[in-house]
Amino acid sequence: MAQQATTNSKHAGKRLLIADDDTDMRLLLAEYFRRLGFQVDERESGMEALESAISGRFDCFIFDVSMPGMSGIELLKRVRDRGIQTPALFLTAHDALSDKVAGFEAGADDYLAKPFSPRELEYRVEALLRRGGGAPAQEPDGERIEVGDLVIDKRRHEVMRNGYRVDLTPLEFQILELLASEPGRAWSRNALLDRVWSTDYEGYQRNIDPHINRLRKKLETDPKNPRYVLTVRGVGYKLNEIP
């Protein structure tokens, strides 16, 4: 897995938090990203990582799923419960769909199965940083999109509902922004994956569902009877046309 990397000034000031109880893996990744110019904090347990995630400011989390004491999934759930929406990627030795769904439901933005190349992980981290910086998936007219009492501010990268801010992860924001670009349009799961992740993302169609469920929990008064993000049976999802 060793690979040469050159220092890259574009990453200067970017902070990563890596949590993995595999010492060799953790140190290798930390050194790789430091040579790319990142500031890296590394932790060997979920509890240590939780303390760091709460007390510090990071641009991306890289968490191993299987850690003793507190799993990466439980760690991210607790982080998200604190309102911290930093982009997060899970590393795992298991590539089952059920494991991916559990990770996405916890609030993960991406998932990478071991073994992997550092270059692929680097690519995915950079993609998450672009999302976190508010890079849009498309360019609809205007900086604000209003649908009913939802206001999506692309420039500020924030969502308001009834005048109150809704805290979304970068990926959740990107999905909502795409749906809101054409209210009433039915988007297939494949189309959403292609636009949000890119066409070379090796995922399953159903990977989009946990993100939709989390989006509904944050936007809807009754997530089981959504008013905004609607299911189009046999197709996928759409944003309701609300005047």
Query: What CATH number does residue 231 fall under?
Result: 1.10.10.10
Nearest to 54 by CA among 6, 46, 24: 46
Residue 79 shares a structural domain with residue 152: no
CB atoms within 10 A of CB 229: 20
Mean pLDDT of the chain, nearest integer: 83
pLDDT tens-digit profile of 161-187?
Answer: 887 888 888 888 888 988 988 889 999
**Domain end residue (candidates: 132, 162, 181):** 132
Residue 123 shares a structural domain with residue 153: no
pLDDT tens-digit profile of 119-149?
Answer: 889 988 988 887 765 433 333 445 788 888 8
CB 60 within 8 A of CB 125: yes
- Give residue 50's pLDDT band: very low, low, confident or very high (50, 70, 90): very high
Residue 216 shares a structural domain with residue 123: no
The pLDDT of residue 3: 42
Whether pLDDT at 205 is above 60 = no
Domain membership flag for residue 114 = yes
Residue 111 shares a structural domain with residue 164: no
Residue 71 shares a structural domain with residue 163: no
Structural domain of 102: 9-132
- Give residue 206's pLDDT band: very low, low, confident or very high (50, 70, 90): low
**Domain end residue (candidates: 132, 157, 175):** 132
From residue 16, alpha-carbon distances to 118, 149, 189 in Å are 14, 36, 30
Q: According to DSSP H, which parts of the chain are helical?
A: 23-35, 46-55, 72-81, 97-105, 118-132, 170-181, 189-196, 208-219
Residue 118 shares a structural domain with residue 149: no
Distance of CA 203 to the CA centre of its chain: 14
Residue 74 shares a structural domain with residue 16: yes
Q: How much is the average pLDDT of 13-26?
A: 93
Domain membership flag for residue 227 = yes
Q: How much is the average pLDDT of 96-114?
A: 81
The pLDDT of residue 96: 65
Least reliable range by pLDDT among 82-91, 143-152, 211-220? 143-152
Could you tell me the CATH number of the domain that includes residue 70?
Answer: 3.40.50.2300
Residue 17 shares a structural domain with residue 109: yes
Q: According to DSSP H, which parts of 71-117 are helical?
A: 72-81, 97-105
| Structural domain total, the chain | 2
Q: How much is the average pLDDT of 28-55?
A: 94
**Domain end residue (candidates: 132, 166, 196):** 132
